[in-house]
Structure 1
Amino acid sequence: LNHPKLSLCPSLIMTIAFAVRWRDPELVGPARKTPRETKRLSDIEDQAGLRWHVPFVLFYRGRGGDAGADAGDPAAAVRRALGEALVPYYPLAGRLREVEGRKLVVDCTGEGVFVEADADVRLAEVEAAGLTPPFPCMDQLLFDVEGSGGVLNCPLLLVQVTRLRCGGFVFALRLNHTMCDAVGIVQFMSAVGELARGLPAPTVAPAWSRETLDARSPPRPSFPHHEYDPVPPTPFPPPGDMVMRTFTFSPADVAAIKKGLPVQRGGKKATTFEALAALIWRARTAALEIPAGEDARLVVAAGVRGVRDLGLPAGYYGNACACTCRRCPPPGPCGASR
């Protein structure tokens, strides 16, 4: 695996510069022997919208003093805990294959990728520059190891631990989305954390059970699924005219937004999710100047773990979401969904 040994992050919002030194990437597999087998993903995990890698980054403070103090080596602790966690979660150390009908399966080969690095910066300096997305040095804290970025026949999991000068560290992870949704990856990361802290086993035992979410044969949809309708081309502005910003809504902001909403039938009040989703949806529709007569869509991924009839077991870490779609013509408030 070829990679540069040293890279400079020139700025975080033009206020800080630091160097990152990587050690050679290594394959970290399960700490003990696991089954060498092929496991099918669920039918909902075959969809094209999940075939990409999701990055995460978490920042941790040190226990005080410099990195060489008695705080221990976070990279070594995470590497050990990762190997232990991959024993019950061994499919995450596999490779994704495609079989007949574009069906996805996991070849459980027992290989994950781990990167260890050091950054010449303190967490306080990074915090002062801002930790909200878009984070301009993400490629330094989660190195794109050559041969790891594909969806098929590539590592499903990439982990990098970067030690900071203050004794803190950065834990960054990239995961193939076909394997887990947000709840599933948090469950796995929690297992790594528990094992790193010395627990003998994760408090939640993982469950595969992907067949639970397979389609009926033959499929019997009971209503139109507009979330999968073709989307007409959107007249996006040129890339140079687009910027990314992070907005934080405080409790006071949310209260002000809700205050301006009409009272719903029966006196029901909008939830925080409904209020913010409607606000962002309307703002986006107005900004894109979607022509009258065309639908403005809002698609939301809704978790189904709480649906009793599905019978998903505790510890299920696969994708357990269904997309819901709301459509209305701009402008003006939305009426009934069509």
Structure 2
Amino acid sequence: MTLSVTRTARGMVQPSGQTPTGTLHLSFIDRLPVLRCNARTLHVFRHGHEPAEIIREALSKALVPYYPLAGRLKESSQGELQIACTGEGLWFVQASADCSMDAVNYFDNIPMVHHEKLLPDLLTEVDDLDPLVLMQVTQFTCGGFVMGLIFCHSICDGLGAAQFLSAVGELARGLHHPSVAPVWCREALATTAPQVYATGKANPPPPLPFLPDYQLKHATMDITPDQINQLKHEFQESTGQTCSTFEIVAARMWSRRTKAINLEKDAKVTLVIFANARQLLHPPLPKGFYGNCFFPVTITVSSEKVSQASHAEVVKLIQESKSMLPIEFTKWINGNSVGDVDPFAPPLAYTTMFISEWGRLGFNQVDYGWGPPVHMIPIQGSSIIPVAIVGTPPKPKKGIRLMTWSVSGPHLQNFLEQMLNLT
């Protein structure tokens, strides 16, 4: 059906109390050029009574301890990206839809989601304000609502953004203070990384070389708990060891996609997994840190090796690479990486597959007073970068939802058939 959304109010939400001013330094991970982008998500809730008003008020309260999010990006005289703590606020849009959540099946069919209507728009006259966080709350006729979120990735990773939303939820439910106090602590990520990272120039990187537009097609697959347990059992029977659900799903996704795109045997294929690195610092980052602290685990082997390997062998490849994360991260952060290869910029090619886990970031536990979301939807950011996101299906379904934009049209049917074949 056609979804009609009316935006009824727009404006800045500023901190409800006095906040510090001045300039804050970002970490060198925050300043990576690859993070100069916005993450866009939709959070679907079954119930809510005047959610826009309640969330708006809670946002204003949350921006007191999280005051940097009410500021703006700036560039120092040396070209270093920083935060100006201006207190200008975040952008908030209130909207209403003309139908119930049942009528759109709680947006279970991701390709049919009208995300441009559910994400906040920014009026032309305030474009130059460039807020770090933009939010739209759209209420449906049944009382349910969708929170559309646009978040500046230079300020928070997924764990950090979820921490902020959890604080907003606690304040919306009547708590006087967030249960986890935010910690800036960007200085803990010392600028001893290679100079290419340490400079953190705010200027955009050189233009990318010509890249083909693959027109990657969306595919969503739900993997039941029984199927996951079966694959885990087979791995344990084969190796005598255990593995995580994410490792099971990532191995299946990578091997089946590699088979589906049918490359030459000696073609190199790469899997990139984004891993939390907070615990790898010495000392570990404190609870409440909400900046970027992750590192890519990269695996590159021949197409033949991935295609012909058993599922257990691919899981082992992933586990072995993950076991090297502490060593590789420590080398990188101390400026001792070998060669000029940027681990945050693997080749943007059809042979490179990016996969990340969203189900454990904390978004699914955010509660503004009417229970956690029934669904959380990532919005595709690129049509040329093969991506898969491991999340959870809409409630009451259980298991894993694999959301992918990873193959072009000619390979889609073969890929779906490969994924559905459990043998």
TM-score (norm 2): 0.64
Contact 1:235 1:288 in 2 (8 A): no
**Does the C-alpha gap of structure 1 residues 300 and 147 become closer, same or farther in structure 2, counting only changes over 3 Å?**
farther
1:54 matched to 2:39? The reply is yes
Q: Are 1:290 and 1:296, in contact at CA under 8 Å, matched by a contact in 2?
A: no
State which of 241, 245, 248 in structure 1 corresponds to 2:219. 245
Structure 2 vs 1, CA of residues 162 and 322 (structure 1 numbering), >3 Å: closer, same or farther? same
SS in 1 for 2:288: coil
Q: What corresponds to 1:182 in structure 2? A: 158
Picking from 78, 86, 89, the partner of 2:66 is 89
Aligned partner of residue 279 in structure 2, secondary structure: coil
1:141 match: 118
User: How has the CA–CA distance of structure 1 residues 82 and 199 changed in structure 2, closer, same or farther, with 3 Å as cutoff?
Assistant: same
Out of 235, 254, 273, the residue aligned to residue 281 of structure 1 is 254
Could you tell me which residue of structure 1 aligns to residue 275 of structure 2?
302
Q: 190-199 vs 93-102, which deviates more? A: 93-102
Residues 236, 288 of structure 1: 8 Å contact kept = no
Question: 1:51 is aligned with what amino acid?
Answer: R
SS at structure 1 position matched to 2:295: strand
Give the Cα–Cα distance (whole angstroms) in 2 for the partners of residues 331 and 170 of structure 1: 44
Shift of 1:196: 0.8
Residues 27/153 of structure 1: CA separation in 2 closer, same or farther (3 Å cut): closer
Partners of 2:268 and 2:126 lie apart in 1 by: 35
The answer to whether 1:325 aligns with 2:298 is yes
Which residue number in structure 1 is paired with residue 99 of structure 2?
A: 121
Contact kept in structure 2, 1:95 and 1:107, CA below 8 Å: yes
Query: Are the structure 2 counterparts of residues 166 and 287 from structure 1 closer, same or farther at C-alpha, using a change threshold of 3 Å?
Result: same
CA distance in 2, matches of 1:19, 1:192: 28
Aligned counterparts of 1:101 and 1:236: Cα–Cα separation in 2: 36
Tell me how far apart the structure 1 counterparts of residues 229 and 55 of structure 2 sit (CA, whole Å).
41
Where does residue 79 of structure 1 map in the other structure?
56
Q: 1:158 to 1:270 in 2, by over 3 A?
A: same
Aligned residues: 300
Alignment partner, residue 40 of structure 1:
25
CA distance in 1, matches of 2:69, 2:137: 18
Distance 1:97 1:81 in 2: 27
Is the contact made by 1:184 and 1:319 (CA closer than 8 Å) also made in structure 2?
A: yes
Shift of 1:279: 1.3
Aligned pair in 2 of structure 1 residues 157, 194: CA closer, same or farther (>3 Å)? Answer: same
The whole-number CA distance in structure 2 between the counterparts of 1:272 and 1:263 is 16
**1:263/1:269 contact within 8 Å kept:** no
- The alpha-carbon deviation at position 147 of structure 1 amounts to 5.7
1:303 shift after superposition = 0.7
Query: Matched residue of 1:253: which SS?
Result: helix
Percent of residue pairs bearing the same amino acid type:
36
Separation in 2, partners of 1:269, 1:288: 29
**Do the aligned partners of 1:157 and 1:176 also contact (CA within 8 Å) in 2?**
yes
Cross-structure match for 1:12: none
Deviating more after overlay: 292-301 vs 316-325: 292-301
Q: What is the CA distance between 1:17 and its match in structure 2?
A: 2.2
- Residue 218 of structure 2 aligns with an amino acid whose one-letter code is M
Indicate the residue corresponding to 1:291 in structure 2: 264
Paired AA for residue 76 in structure 1: E
Question: Distance between the aligned counterparts of 2:131 and 2:237, measured in 1?
Answer: 50
Residue 253 to residue 218, structure 1, CA distance change in 2 (3 Å): closer
8 A Cα contact 1:148 1:154, kept in partner: no
Distance between the aligned counterparts of 1:298 and 1:232, measured in 2?
Answer: 21
> Residues of 2 paired with 1:262 and 1:235: CA distance?
41
Choose between structure 1 and 2: higher helix proportion. 2
TM-score by length of 1: 0.79
The answer to whether residue 173 in structure 2 is matched with residue 200 in structure 1 is no
1:250 alignment partner AA? T
In structure 2, the residue matched to 1:158 is 134
Q: Do the aligned partners of 2:9 and 2:95 also contact (CA within 8 Å) in 1?
A: no
SS of the counterpart of 1:118? Answer: strand
Over alpha carbons, which structure has the higher Rg? 1
Per the TM alignment, residue 216 of structure 1 is displaced from its structure 2 partner at its CA by 1.8
Q: Given the superposition, is the C-alpha separation of residues 122 and 218 from structure 1 closer, same or farther in structure 2, using an over 3 Å criterion?
A: closer
Deviation at 1:113, TM superposition (A): 0.3
Which blocks of at least 5 consecutive residues in structure 1 are unaligned? 1-15, 64-70, 222-230
Q: Is the 8 A contact 1:46 1:102 kept in 2?
A: no
Q: What is the CA–CA distance in structure 1 between the aligned matches of 2:229 and 2:125, rounded to whole Å?
A: 44
SS at 1:34 equivalent: coil
Separation in 2, partners of 1:264, 1:307: 31
1:246 counterpart SS class: strand
Q: Deviations over 1:128-176 (max 9, x none)?
A: 6x424335211111133146999x9611100111111112222221100
- Taking a change above 3 Å as real, the CA distance of residues 233 and 284 of structure 1, as seen in their structure-2 partners, is farther
- Residue aligning to 1:257: 231
Q: C-alpha offsets along residues 76-114 of structure 1, whole Å, 9 cap, x if unaligned?
A: 111100000001001111111233565221112222100
Aligned equivalents of 1:193, 1:77: Cα separation in 2? 10
SS in 1 for 2:223: coil
**Distance in 2, Cα, partners of 1:324 & 1:136:** 31
CA distance in 2 between counterparts of 1:178 and 1:117 reads: 28
